[in-house]
Structure 1
Amino acid sequence: MEEEFRALLKRVRAELVSSAEFSAYERLLALVRTDTRAARDALAGVLTAPEQPLWAREIAAFVLGGKGDRRAFETLVLLLNYREPVRCATAAHALARLRDPRTGRAAAALATNPLRTAYALYPVRLLTELRAPESVPALLSTLERLLAARDHCWPVARACVEGLGVLGDRRAEAALVAAREHERLRPAAVAALARLGGPGGGRQGAGSGSST
């Protein structure tokens, strides 16, 4: 957790521009370093208090998530679906360690939302790491939709293929065979099928596949 937290602090510090922001940043770090029940309650207060900057909520949620404090859940899910990938990555890291039973459902809802596909990469990766009951159905649903779509959103589709290989569920075989027909997904799909150990793992697609 230390390496990720240091990277978070370095990024946030680079965003600060005023003396008031630097002072608020130092006060927040003082709470983090104190690590008492009262300090945790104060960090939880940052998540719900009005007019708190996003960076303050992000630091507080990351710290609480790492300590297994479920008060961080809602903020971390919000950040998991944020427009900046670096914040999505930070939130996914903390959610994986929070171990809140709601996380799988939340990540699945974000991954399968067709209106938010551009932001689905980290929810997909989180579902793979969680190995939750929702993981395989959500990854399958997302991959099948992307394979049929005009815009395949290759990074998300590839993450689904890789995740399904890691999860090793034979329900994914047909979708992985279909993914193998796309040039940009073929290496990941072949590797995933090999991990499944099914008949599809040893066959190469006859066509050249689509790359558009």
Structure 2
Amino acid sequence: MDPEFRALLKRVRAELVSPAEFSAYEHLLKLVRTDGRAARDELAGVLVAPERPLWAREIAAFALGVKGDRRAFETLVLLLNYREPARCATAAHALALLRDPRTAKAAAALATNPVRTAYAVHPVRLLAELRAPESVPALMSTLERLLVARDHCWPVARACVEGLGRLGDRRAEATLVAAREHPQLRPAAVEALARLTGRRGGGTHGVRTGSVT
């Protein structure tokens, strides 16, 4: 079982309080462990059934996402924008494995939304992993906005710097130079610029949904 999924199940199990919840949880686990269309269809039904708890939708969406079932997409994007970092992280992991062509556009929309900046770390990291055409423009736009904002939101800004370094696109050079002027970002920006200018060897690996030009 995927380590991320084990962590998800452990977190969810700690939230359960009633016998009915434990029973529903065990039934979901049985579906997850069952191969075949019927099990996937029932998991997909959990995503749209009324009055299902969020934890049940999260388990179903994650399980479908890692199996490449695109019916999980909308729920995973919702969770990627959730207020709890743990749920954002697991959603990002499943979306990276899902390989849905809509993922990069959705992640870019979340990363660049100034109203949701506090929840943008995982969309930013996902964009760097996807290496899609949307990735560099979205990370540059978000970082440039944060560099001049009153609330710089340093964790998100740092994630942008690290992502741009990982992507290695020279379009980001001026933005990273500006980031280097901020002590909170300087170490990450120096490393990212070294990647861009070729002073650091090695490559990166990730899920590729497109190419950065």
Judge same fold: TM > 0.5, yes or no: yes
In the TM superposition, residue 32 of structure 1 has moved relative to its aligned partner by 1.0
For 2:84, give the aligned amino acid. Answer: E
**Counterpart-to-counterpart distance in 1, 2:136 and 2:6:** 33
Counterpart of 1:168? 168
In the TM superposition, residue 198 of structure 1 has moved relative to its aligned partner by 7.2
1:144 aligns with 2:144: yes
Counterpart of 2:56? 56
Q: Within 5 A, what are the aligned runs for 1:44-123?
A: 44-123=44-123
1:184 aligns with 2:181: no
Counterpart of 1:134? 134
Q: 1:198 to 1:35 in 2, by over 3 A?
A: closer
**Counterpart-to-counterpart distance in 2, 1:32 and 1:164:** 36
* Higher RCO (CA-CA < 8 Å; seq separation 6+): 2
Counterpart of 1:31? 31
**Counterpart-to-counterpart distance in 2, 1:193 and 1:97:** 29
For 2:13, give the aligned amino acid. Answer: R
Normalising by the residue count of structure 1, what TM-score does the alignment of the two structures yield? 0.92
Normalising by the residue count of structure 2, what TM-score does the alignment of the two structures yield? 0.92
Counterpart of 2:157? 157
Instruction: Return 5+ residue gaps in structure 2 as ranges.
Output: 200-213
Please identify runs of 4+ aligned residues in structure 1 that moved more than 4 A: none
In the TM superposition, residue 30 of structure 1 has moved relative to its aligned partner by 1.1
Counterpart of 1:210? none
**Counterpart-to-counterpart distance in 1, 2:34 and 2:71:** 18
* Structure with bigger gyration radius: 1
**Counterpart-to-counterpart distance in 1, 2:3 and 2:137:** 32
For 1:155, give the aligned amino acid. Answer: P
Corresponding residue SS for 1:184 = coil
Counterpart of 2:22? 22
- The count of corresponding residues between Structure 1 and Structure 2 is 199
**Counterpart-to-counterpart distance in 2, 1:89 and 1:105:** 18
Contact 1:105/1:134 (CA < 8 Å) preserved in 2? yes
Q: What's the Cα RMSD here?
A: 1.1
**Counterpart-to-counterpart distance in 2, 1:64 and 1:30:** 14
In the TM superposition, residue 33 of structure 1 has moved relative to its aligned partner by 1.4
Instruction: Return 5+ residue gaps in structure 1 as ranges.
Output: 200-212
Percent of pairs identical after alignment?
86
Q: 1:178 to 1:198 in 2, by over 3 A?
A: farther
**Counterpart-to-counterpart distance in 2, 1:173 and 1:157:** 15
**Counterpart-to-counterpart distance in 1, 2:40 and 2:64:** 7
For 1:62, give the aligned amino acid. Answer: F
**Counterpart-to-counterpart distance in 2, 1:30 and 1:192:** 44
